Structures are given as C-alpha cells and as structure tokens.
Amino acid sequence: MVRAPCCDKANVKRGPWSPEEDATLVNYINKHGTGGNWIALPRKAGLKRCGKSCRLRWLNYLRPDIKHGGFTEEEDHVICTLFFTIGSRWSVIASRLPGRTDNDVKNYWNTKLKKKLMKQLVSLKTVPESNFDYQVCAQNSASIDPETKNREYAANSMGFPKQNFNPGIPTSNSSLLCPPSLTEVSDFSHVPSSTPEVSSHSDSCSVVMKSEYSGSANGSSEQDQVLLDFDFDSMLNDFGFQDQSS
C-alpha cells in the first residue's frame, strides 16, 4: 500500500521560512493554538506550507521557550551520558534539557560534541596508563531501555566496532565522579545515577556504564551494567584522527 502524501507537494512552499511566514504562524498559534491538527493549520492560517513544516518550524524555532545559543558544560554531560545510556533518542535527551529541541541536540552532537568527546579519547590514547579524565554523569531517563540494543547502537554510532560491543563486567575501578551541580538538579521522579568507568590499555579502551535506577513501587533498585570495549585505531581512523602516539 502506498501512503498518501501529507500535503500536495506541488502547491506548498518549501525551503527557508520568511519573516512574514514566521509572523503569520506565530500570530495564528498565539490566537488559536495549534488546534491539535497541524495538517489543517497552514490552510487556516493562510500559509502555503506543509503542516509538518509548520509544526517543525514552531517546535524548533518559533516557540517562545526555545533556548538559543551555546550549550553549557552541564548540558554536555547530560547529552553524553544519555547518549551512552539510551542511544540516539534525541527527543528523550532533549526532554531533559529545558528549552532545547531534539533537532538542536542532534545537530550539536553531530557537529561538535561527538568531536569533542573523540578528542578526549585521543588524549587518552596518548597517555595510556592515566585515568581517563572525561567525566560524564547526569540524570538519566526514566524511559531507560534495559536492553543493550540502544547502547549497541550508540557504540556503533560513535564508530566503535560492533563486534567488540560486549556487555560485561568492568575491568578497572577508575570510577568517574558526578559533578555536584548535576546531582543537585537530578529531581526527576525515577532518576537513576550513572557513573561510567573508563580504563585504558595500550591500544584499546573500555567504558563501563553502570546505571542504577529505582522505579519500582517497593522502592527497590536495579543495576544495569554494560561494557563498551573498543579498539582505538579503528575508531580514530573512522573519525579521521591522526594516530598521535605513533
């Protein structure tokens, strides 16, 4: 079965939004709300746009509570931790960052944060016996996926060789501490804490994610643990980094 398109693509405008279109959309939503029907909204508002396009424009740019500008270190920590825990579920990650959109978080990860993290991993490779000085700890999502699927995907997305992704037992105790400011803001109802442990060897690295979370009615807690083992050379090669140790 072929799905009908959500709008008549021949008769809708595409590409960047003009200030006039923005104003029309904002005025309409301020006056009438979205009405729970994005498909009908552009016609009612007098816009020659696809409903999906209107929705995206409003949610990602025009909403009054959108936070524009650079991400803070705290936000970096949250994104990194959640990415390693649940994978590329940007909407879930964004929901933990007030004022940020999934598109924003996704763009930030893909263009900046991933590279920043990789550079830190590079520095780990060049100082093999030191503890990895990268700290990621934050509140995690209540919708944490107990299966390893998303972590495997996360590892794969980061360029970690899939075949080396093995949930298992930590190999060291170089535990990384959570920044106090992050623990203080952990006020979600089922907030687990996550403390990655990273150990390094001459040519490989292990990242252990331990997620302890209490969400059951009797207050008991469960611990979920995963070990990401990856090979430096293939990882650095994937990301186009020079091997500085050779």
Q: Which of 8, 11, 16, 163 binds DNA (CB under 7 A)?
A: 16
- Candidate residues 28, 38, 165, 213; the one interacting with DNA per rule CB under 7 A: 38
- Does position 51 bind DNA by CB under 7 A? yes
Using rule CB under 7 A, residue 39 touches DNA: yes
Beta-bridge partners for 199:
206
- Cα–Cα distance measured from residue 149 to residue 87, given in angstroms and rounded to the nearest whole number: 9
Across 143-171, b (16+ Cβ under 10 Å) vs e yields ebbeeeebbbbbbeebebeeebbeeeebe
Q: Could you give the CA distance from residue 82 to residue 96 in angstroms, rounded to a whole number?
A: 9
Single residue of 8, 9, 163, 217 touching DNA by CB under 7 A:
9
Please check whether residue 155 is in contact with residue 168, taking contact to mean a CB–CB distance below 8 angstroms. no
Residue 45 CA to residue 40 CA, distance in Å, equals: 9
Work out whether 110 is an interface residue with DNA (CB under 7 A).
Answer: yes
Neighbours of 229 (CB within 10 A): 19
Among 29, 61, 204, 239, binds DNA (CB under 7 A): 61
State the Cα–Cα distance between residues 88 and 113, nearest whole angstrom.
13
Based on the shown chain and the rule CB under 7 A, indicate whether residue 36 belongs to the binding site for DNA: yes
3-state helix, strand, coil in the chain (%, to 5): 40, 15, 45
CB of 147 to DNA, least distance (A): 14
For DNA, the binding residue among 26, 56, 142, 185 (CB under 7 A) is 56
Cβ-based nearer residue to DNA, 71 or 132: 71
Instruction: By CB under 7 A, tell whether 96 contacts DNA.
Output: no
Binding of residue 123 to DNA (CB under 7 A) = no
Q: Of 153, 149, 133, 146, nearest to 198 (Cα)?
A: 133
To DNA, the closest distance from the beta carbon of 121 in angstroms equals 17
Binding to DNA by CB under 7 A, coded x per residue (else -) over 126-165, reads ---------------------------x---x--------
Interface with DNA (CB under 7 A): 1, 3-4, 6, 9, 13-17, 36-39, 50-53, 55-57, 60-61, 68, 88-92, 102-104, 106-108, 110-112, 153, 157
